Amino acid sequence: MTNRLALAAIAAASLFAAPASAQEARPAGSPPPSAFMEEAAPEAASVEQLVRVRLSTEKGDIVLALDEGRAPITVANFLAYLDKGWLDGQPFYRAMPFGEGGLIQGGVRDGSKLLPPIEHEASADTGLKHERGTISMANAGPGTARNDFFIMLSPVESFDASFAPFGQVIEGMDVVEAIFNAPVDPEAGEGAMKGQMIADPIEIVSATRIEE
């Protein structure tokens, strides 16, 4: 248990949301929306509080349900990048193994396309947890998150103390897994990130809202 907690601390410390110039050096299926709403917090979000988003990637589509009811600041920030078109053409560039799964990480690699850091919406306040399929913001400490995000392939309870989950994959976990299984460059990355950088980053071709 001690070793697992130590590994979780190292993994958490290596999930950075930094400008693109700094990120290189540092950083059976999906649950239905109803299951996500029931399990993530004591009070379920209404349908009106979920914003659906499609990330169309080179490996296929990932559909997200973003919970603006419980994580309004984090969701608004993600949608600001999406609505500006700044996620289009950006990559999933990291596959981090951890425990029985791990995570994939992506974000805007163009340092000129950065909005100010946002306030941290902690799991303790939102009730949202790092489960399989959760999308969460990477950061270098509370209040530093900008645009880097990651998607979980397995639950990591220790991440709840450090990062801000704000939604769930509702379609396309097979695509998440395909990205996670893409070849990595064993020499790329530094520190805890070495060997986790995807050799040929997977492009987010487009990021769009799904209108009802």
pLDDT at residue 30 is higher than 80 = no
Q: pLDDT tens digits for 2-16?
A: 344 344 444 555 555
In the structure encoding, which two tokens stand for residue 185, read together? 């460059």
In the chain, the number of structural domains is 1
Residues 6 or more apart from 212 whose CB is under 8 A from it?
Answer: none
pTM of the predicted model, to two decimals?
0.82
Per-residue model confidence (pLDDT) at position 191: 87
The better pLDDT of the pair 109, 19 is held by 109
DSSP 8-state secondary structure symbol assigned to residue 184: B
* pLDDT tier for residue 99 given thresholds of 50, 70 and 90: confident
Cα–Cα distance between 70 and 131 in angstroms, integer? Answer: 16
pLDDT of residue 11: 52
Q: What is the mean pLDDT of residues 147-158?
A: 97
Do residues 61 and 175 lie in contact, with contact meaning Cβ atoms separated by under 8 Å?
yes
Question: Domain holding 89: CATH number?
Answer: 2.40.100.10
Instruction: In whole angstroms, give the CA distance from residue 36 to residue 41.
Output: 9
Report, as an integer, the average pLDDT of 54-69. 98
Which domain does 16 fall in, by range?
2-209
